């Protein structure tokens, strides 16, 4: 099942998507309300949504699929992310590789719903960054016990030049207005298939010019998603409705540093396409 949020009768409500532009609203429930109820009752999200959804189908535009309580990022989960950073940042040799290979994953806090945007909404370029990059990532929506409610496409927008200046600046490179894009929908675990066999593509366009094209597969993800969630939850009771971005396997070039008006389009065919314009924040 594909679940997200739409505007229906003037309110933002959860909805079951039949295809990219048609959905059945779930009146009186936001996506957050829905997962909170599924979490409390221990109900399967798909069964609950199916029970509460209207029979009628509306023509819709997908909004951000949840107002996330928290957004977290995992880093250096793909070899290319750690080797790029070791080469680029001139850090002690193997600094990032040690994280890719280590038992403990890199985890960082992106923010709350305040910093998150949905399909079509602007992602941020910091005014003090000259190299802000999209990081296309598979993301998971989790409950209070770390159970996975769904998978979505995400963008861990990052100011790479600030991170490069000094790794201790990582929080500033990762957290700012519009630093996390999510959507268009969550796909429930029963429908996603093998999460370690998802192809992902990213394209950046500037007017009619393509400034970057790249792809990866979650087959290259160096960790099990459940293990990353396990570390996230260690002595850290993240709330139901938290989104975890699982790391990037696509590294853009310096020439494709985001400029205002660029459009970043990320696709995972089993989930959909997330497209966002970039804007100064």
Which residues contact ligand DO4 (rule: CB under 6 A)? 73, 75-76, 81, 85, 106, 135, 156, 158, 170, 247-248
What distance in Å separates the CA atoms of residue 269 and residue 201, rounded to the nearest whole number?
9
Binding segment for Mg ion (CB under 5 A), chosen from 26-34, 138-146, 155-163, 165-173, is 155-163
Tokens of residue 71, six digits: 């957004």
46 interface partner picked from Mg ion, ligand DO4, none, CB below 5 to 8 A per type: none
List the structure tokens of 83.
């080797």
Nearer to ligand DO4, 17 or 160 (CB): 160
Residue where the block lists tokens 């979505």:
152
Contact letters for Mg ion, residues 240-279 (x by CB under 5 A): --------x-------------------------------
Contact present, 198 and 268 (Cβ < 8 Å): yes
Which residue do the tokens 């309110």 mark? 11
Residues 156, 161, 163, 262: which binds Mg ion (CB under 5 A)? 156
Q: How many residues bind Mg ion (CB under 5 A)?
A: 3
β-strand partners of 72: 109, 244
Nearest to 110 by CA among 158, 77, 73, 62: 73
Q: How far apart are CA 136 and CA 156, in angstroms?
A: 7
Other CB atoms within 10 A of residue 231 CB: 15
Residue number with CB closer to ligand DO4 (46 or 85): 85
Q: Name which of 66 and 71 has its Cβ closer to Mg ion.
A: 71
* 86 counts as binding Mg ion under rule CB under 5 A: no
Give the nearest residue (CB) to Mg ion: 156
Minimal distance, residue 34 CB to ligand DO4, in Å: 28
Q: Which is nearer to Mg ion, 5 or 245 (CB)?
A: 245
For residues 216 and 276, which CB has a smaller minimum distance to ligand DO4 in the complex? Answer: 216
Question: Which of 40, 42, 185 is CA-nearest to residue 119?
Answer: 185
Closest residue to ligand DO4, based on beta-carbon distance: 75
Strand, helix or coil at 52?
A: helix
What is the Cα Rg of the chain in Å? 18
Binding-site ranges for Mg ion (CB under 5 A): 135, 156, 248
């Amino acid at each position: 099942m594909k679940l997200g949020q739409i505007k229906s009768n003037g309110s933002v409500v959860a909805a079951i998507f039949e295809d990219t532009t048609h959905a059945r609203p779930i009146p009186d429930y936001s996506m957050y309300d829905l997962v909170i109820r599924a979490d409390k009752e221990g109900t399967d999200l798909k069964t609950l949504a199916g029970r509460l959804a209207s029979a009628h189908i509306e023509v819709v535009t997908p909004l951000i699929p949840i107002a996330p309580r928290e957004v977290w990022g995992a880093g250096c989960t793909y070899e290319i992310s750690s080797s790029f950073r070791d080469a680029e940042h001139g850090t002690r040799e193997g600094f990032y590789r040690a994280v890719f290979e280590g038992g403990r994953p890199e985890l960082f806090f992106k923010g709350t719903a305040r910093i998150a945007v949905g399909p079509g909404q602007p992602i941020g370029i910091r005014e003090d960054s000259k190299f802000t990059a999209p990081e296309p990532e598979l993301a998971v929506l989790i409950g209070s016990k770390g159970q996975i409610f769904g998978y979505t496409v995400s963008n861990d927008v990052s100011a790479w030049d600030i991170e490069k200046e000094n790794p201790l600046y990582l929080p500033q490179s990762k957290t700012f207005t519009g630093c996390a894009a999510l959507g268009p929908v969550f796909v429930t675990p029963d429908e996603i298939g093998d999460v370690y066999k998802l192809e992902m593509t990213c394209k950046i366009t500037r007017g009619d010019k393509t400034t970057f094209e790249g792809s990866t597969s979650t087959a290259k993800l160096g960790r099990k998603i459940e293990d990353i969630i396990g570390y996230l939850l260690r002595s850290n009771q993240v709330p139901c409705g938290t989104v975890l971005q699982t790391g990037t396997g696509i590294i853009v070039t310096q020439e494709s540093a985001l400029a205002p008006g660029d459009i970043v389009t990320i696709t995972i065919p089993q989930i959909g396409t997330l497209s966002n314009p970039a804007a100064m924040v």
